[in-house]
Chain A
Amino acid sequence: ETGVTQSPTHLIKTRGQQVTLRCSSQSGHNTVSWYQQALGQGPQFIFQYYREEENGRGNFPPRFSGLQFPNYSSELNVNALELDDSALYLCASSFNRHDTQYFGPGTRLTVL
């Protein structure tokens, strides 16, 4: 059974650019949640996708958007990058909306 995978591992962008991060959910899981983890902090919820629809959103601006595909993989898009967007972006998948969330290794985004 393959766990949650994320790509790329690391990414460096400049302020104002756009970025797309990708996540493949664990086999059999239909729900993907995205979190932002700043250095020294706990993960902060961005949004969740369940069966290709957004199922809930945290306190993040609209320039953070996402998609979920028929195979339940997901993308996180961030437009107009700001310096404070530098963080570890974590994807977690679960069997269903309310089940245990299993995390991927994360994508380290640095905005210069």
Chain B
Amino acid sequence: GESVGLHLPTLSVQEGDNSIINCAYSNSASDYFIWYKQESGKGPQFIIDIRSNMDKRQGQRVTVLLNKTVKHLSLQIAATQPGDSAVYFCAEKNLGNSGGSNYKLTFGKGTLLTVNP
């Protein structure tokens, strides 16, 4: 069945350091992955996405890596800032599951990132 989980519930880093948030998934049919950032009292904010035909995708200060062999993805944040403090969720979707569940995102529990000044 589908499940998306994260390796660490919390991560604490120093301002300016790089952060790496990991995520494992179990559905080998998943072909689309998204990272969301959720600040306290707010809805999830889209950060970056990646499709299963890619291994890496870069955005502004963020990079997502996908390893389909071990069903693992990671979010790397460069030069982490206090404003990056939030809960980070990975979510997965099966775009090719026509007639099935290709409409929904499946989220993990999230990793709380704390950036120390």
Contacts and interface: CB of A to CB of B under 8 A. Distances in A.
Contacts of A42: 4, 89, 91, 107-110
A105 B42 contact: yes
A56 B103 contact: yes
- Interface size grouping (class) on chain B: 20 to 34
Contacts, number: 60
Residues of B contacting A: mostly: loop
Contact of A41 (B4, B91, B95, B109): B109
A55 B103 CA distance: 7
Contact of B44 (A43, A48, A55): A43
Interface residues of A, number: 25
Contacts of A8: none
Interface stretch (A14-22, A62-70, A71-79, A95-103): A95-103
B46 A104 contact: no
